[in-house]
Structures are given as structure tokens and as C-alpha cells.
Amino acid sequence: MINNVVLVGRLTKDPDLRYTVNGTAVAAFTMAVERSFNGADGQKQTDFISCVVWRKQAETLANYTRKGSL
């Protein structure tokens, strides 16, 4: 079974595209995701989520997104 997660946030830096020794594309990136509620201090809280995508999704991500992309 595969889990699906939908995150809405911004990239903290350009994706890091690399290739395995077999030629498989892999991209690592971090997303800044604001919580939908304020913290105890009344300020917005942001979570930083580390992500990895493989194959064609990795190449597409690297080609079409940059730091700050939504």
C-alpha cells in the first residue's frame, strides 16, 4: 500500500537533483508549510518537511520549480 500526502507550502531552496549509479533521477527538497492555526503566542507556526521524489517526478520538479515556488 502506498500512502499519499498533500502538502501546500513553499520550497526553501532549489531542489537538489541527482542520479543514482543506475541512472535513476532523485530530487530532495524541503517545504515550508504554515499551520492553519496560530500558536499559543498568536503567531503563525511553520513546519519544515523534508521530501524526496524519484524518476520523472524528480526531473519535472527540478526543471519547473525554484526556491519560493508554491
List pLDDT tens digits, range 21-41.
999 999 999 999 999 888 788
Beta strands at 25-38 and 10-11: parallel, antiparallel or unpaired: antiparallel
Mean pLDDT (the chain) is: 93
Q: For residue 57, how many other CB atoms are within 10 A of its CB?
A: 12
pLDDT in tens, 9-19: 999 999 999 99
Domains in the chain (CATH in brackets) are 10-64 (2.40.50.140)
Q: For residue 29, how many other CB atoms are within 10 A of its CB?
A: 22
pLDDT computed for residue 58 by the predictor: 97
Cell of 3: 500512502
Taking residues 36-61, report their average pLDDT: 91
Q: Three-state DSSP class for 61?
A: helix
